[in-house]
A and B are shown apart, each in its own frame.
Chain A
Amino acid sequence: KQEVTQIPAALSVPEGENLVLNCSFTDSAIYNLQWFRQDPGKGLTSLLLIQSSQREQTSGRLNASLDKSSGRSTLYIAASQPGDSATYLCAVNNNNDMRFGAGTRLTVKP
């Protein structure tokens, strides 16, 4: 059974810093991996989707990488802003079974 771990559980940084969120998974036979953002009391917003054949995906200030062999993915956020404050969830898809990490709660202080 796939297990997904996200470290750290919470992170607080000053505005403007670059930061990295980590996601690790136990079963490397994945179909794809997706990063989501969740604001308090809201649903999940998809940020980036990486297929198993890809190494990274970029969208604006966000860059997600995937290393299947080591069971790791990172989400890099450049020049963080207070509006980036949210919980970031990593989800790993093993052939119809998508498992979520517990998330990293990010706070960007003005």
Chain B
Amino acid sequence: DAGVIQSPRHEVTEMGQEVTLRCKPISGHDYLFWYRQTMMRGLELLIYFNNNVPIDDSGMPEDRFSAKMPNASFSTLKIQPSEPRDSAVYFCASSLSLRGYTFGSGTRLTVV
């Protein structure tokens, strides 16, 4: 298995633009998580899905953030409109029945 695949690896965008981050979990995993990592706040859970259904989105910072999982093999995290304070590394992770998490390589987002 290729592991959890995230795209793009790097994204630079201007303030106010829409940003879409993508994640392909490990095949067969039933949980998918989106995390954000910054120097100031460390790793923060944004939202997670179980069997494609959003279970807890209490970590999503604002209405500008939204996440979808249309099927078991794909999820997106969208920021609209983006702001400089959204600059961070965004990680996707998947898990099989919560028996450990596997993380993707992350998307480094810079909003200028």
Residues of A with Cβ closer than 8 Å to B? 31-32, 34, 36, 41-46, 49, 51, 89, 91, 93, 95-103
Contact = CB atoms under 8 A, between A and B. Distances in A.
Contacts of B105: 42-43
Nearest to A43: B105
Interface residues on B, range: 20 to 34
Contact of B103 (A44, A93, A95): A44
A33 B16 CA distance: 39
A93 B33 CA distance: 13
28 contacts: A32-B98, A32-B99, A34-B100, A34-B101, A36-B103, A42-B105, A43-B91, A43-B103, A43-B104, A43-B105, A44-B93, A44-B103, A46-B100, A46-B101, A46-B102, A49-B99, A49-B100, A91-B101, A95-B98, A96-B55, A96-B56, A96-B98, A97-B45, A97-B56, A98-B101, A99-B45, A100-B43, A101-B42
